Amino acid sequence: MEGSTRNFNWPSLIVGIIFIILAIFLFANPDATILAAVFLLGFGAIFKGVFEIFFRRKIKDYSDRNYTLMLVIGIIDIIIGLLILFNIQLGIIALPVLLGAWFIVDSVYLLITSSYIKERSTSRFWAAVIIGIIGILLGLMVLFNPLTGLFAIAFLMGIYFLITGIEFIIEAFDS
């Protein structure tokens, strides 16, 4: 009897859990310093970039589509993370702009790739669309109000890390 077997995606689950743990930390400690936010953003960007590159290699084995965008996003995430970690003052000054741009770029990427997701799962497609729209709105809020964004950075990062973590966990179970 032939059946459809699904593979569980452990890397997606791990990334999702890490992002949710980071979100809980940020929600529980609203007085966390901007310096801590800079480090979290830097390491989060590097970790996510490495994951995107790793996942691109895996997904190429199962599809004939061009996943160059995944590679580009992964490299951009790693570069942003390294820039933040090796120039803390720049990271503090630019944190709202970098964070807003990162939210927007990753959310637009999620919306672009949601058409591929729709082929596999309608519910996951709608989750990706909603999460992508929320990410774009949060990114725009930070870009157009950087001072307010700086004061609300832990909360905004918490929201974004939470929705990104949920997206990765959905991916883990939907592989």
Mean pLDDT for the chain? Answer: 83
pLDDT digits (tens, 9 = 90+) for 78-136: 998 998 899 888 777 777 887 788 889 999 998 998 887 777 778 888 988 999 999 99
Query: What is this structure's pTM?
Result: 0.53
Return the number of other C-beta atoms located less than 10 Å from residue 71's C-beta.
16
| Ranges of each domain in the chain | 10-173
Q: Do the beta carbons of residue 102 and residue 45 sit within 8 Å? A: yes
Residue given tokens 């061009």 in the structure block = 66
| pLDDT greater at residue 63 or residue 169 | 169
In whole angstroms, what is the distance from residue 156 CA to residue 144 CA? 14
